[in-house]
Structure 1
Amino acid sequence: MSSTLERRVVTLGGTPVGAGPAVVIGGRVSLRERRGDAARTLRGRARLVEPSGAGDLPWIAERADGVVVGAAWTRDIPLVRAVAGLGLPVVVERRPSASLEEWLTLAGYCAAEGDDQVILCEGGRLDLGLLRAARAASGRPVVADVRADPGLSAAAVAAGADGLIVADPAGAGPDGVPYPRSRGEAGGGHGAVRGAASGAARNAAIGAADGPAGEFEDRPEGGFEDGFEDGGRRAAEEAVTLVGALLRPETPDTLEECREAIDRVDAALATLLERRAALAGVVQTLKPVGGFAGRDPGRERALVARMARRAPELGEERLAAIMNAVIEAGLHLAEERRAHR
């Protein structure tokens, strides 16, 4: 199918997935990996939940924002059918050995059994080429589960991921559910999906939801270290903000959405300007004549001409004024650093 296929949008926890910016989604609950049943585990609002069997579905329908068809049981058709019929958004994980056709066929089956609110999920050892192909061929949202390797967040967004599934902040277990601070105490005010901490990254993530993510009477072994987990979320937030701003087209419909998109672009622009200033400082140490006296007007004109080919509507005249200010700011910064050595 064509990559220009009309995009489907699935609303998860009140936030659209599949249009506009990529989003950060708080970790998922796997009842297959948890001790006890759904009644014990899902005491508060949950985000994405994978059932261990049909008996979990009434609890999931009541307390989850989305239900996961896990990679380990995609061939359990009776359970897949029951999951698809819950009326919740369905996240279909790809079985590691499944082909693109098999993955999309299962997603289509879930859509037919339910209300067409289907999200594709690539996890484990991510095949980013397959993720990109699935998004282009299906028109459905595709998310990447990067809990095992948050360092792949930027690559996943660059490949076209509409969202990144990450572990929740400090105190969460391997599937992203916060552990209680003491027996019977809910582990924080998390909801179905979590937003970024602040700033432009916050605008790129799904907003905070409305209740505790869940309680557990016992803490299972194997939780992530706080630093790894928080770092993984930061990596995801940076990816959806910076990489998304550069590579993900957006068509905001409201003033608020437009301002959020501008915030993301500004965050990427600030990051690039800081990097450019640092490189300009290095250049000053390598030139025979540094500082303002070492400026090369010919090179600067050529630079502006190359930029104008990427930004034809701005044109060379406007870009020349912008780049003159950027170059001067970098030179002033280099001089200040040299003076403080």
Structure 2
Amino acid sequence: MDSRKRVNKTHSIPQVIVIGTSAGGLLALKKLINQLQEDFPAPMLVVQHISPDANGNVLLDALNSLGKLKCEHAISGGIIKPGHLYLAPSDHHLMIDRDQTMLVTKGAAENRSRPGIDPLFRSAAVAFRNKVVGIILTGYLDDGVAGLEVIKRCGGICIVQDPEDAEYPDMPKNALAHVEVDHCLPISEMGGLLYQLMSRKLGKLKSIPKDIQIEAKIAQRVLSDLPSVNALGDQVPFNCPGCGGVLWKVSDSWPIRYRCHTGHAYTESSLLAEQTMKIEETMWTALRMFEERKNLLTTMAREHGGATAKSALERAELSGVHIDRIKAILKSNDKGTSKDLPG
């Protein structure tokens, strides 16, 4: 079957569901999928934050053991089918291409995550517009908030897990704070709602805002050109912690977001968390170098006499002062909170 015929098959997809979750996601997804049947009339695409060296098989095995939807890893170019759940592979973004097939790429991390929730939600909104249902479940920080807002702007439906029901309520709370969601409810009630939404009458299609189109293209092609990023906002006086490049503040974005020209993207909180981590890495490197310097100077003082030994000891003592200061900084409480940790 040629590619044109395969692509046309995807046009029969009535709606698509995209889900983003982080810490606590395994249990939440199991509770949700267990409410659905094999013939569920829409495909589900899921981003679960996992470490780069994980393979996601534990999650897939747990979901497949329920005997409900067919759950599998997403494959670039694959056709999305009703009754199937597609999980983003570790260390790769999962997106929906304009021809409504899956796109799996190793693009720049967004909100410190790859896979990231925002790239999936944004691409789904561009490809399906008002046929998208976006769901934010349990997790840390605020990945998925900007993507959920894009779904809303393109006419889709936004669902957020009730924070009181979430094992880790940060992501649901941030979504509720920044997006006018359509539904906020516990996991136990989501299955019935999804069946209701699958039979809803779709309204008139909305045009896709230009800024959403630009950001979708940036994520899909990995490297963007400066005119594209310039169209999104203005440069700011700090750099991308991911690549060292210049950052742009995305105009009219809430929560406030930043992008670099290579594709890294951050909300304020994720940018602060990444800066905190980079600072700590730098401090540990500085500590090691000062300790090595002190050891060398102490050795020189033992092996030399006179003025050379005296100078080496003085410099070793000064290195010791710097070592104590760095240790005090590393031991302080000003290194962020649990909310700065990746989900």
Q: Shared topology, TM-score over 0.5?
A: no
**Please, what TM-score do these two structures have when normalized by structure 2?**
0.30
**Please, what TM-score do these two structures have when normalized by structure 1?**
0.30
Name the structure, 1 or 2, with higher relative contact order (CA <8 Å, separation 6+): 1
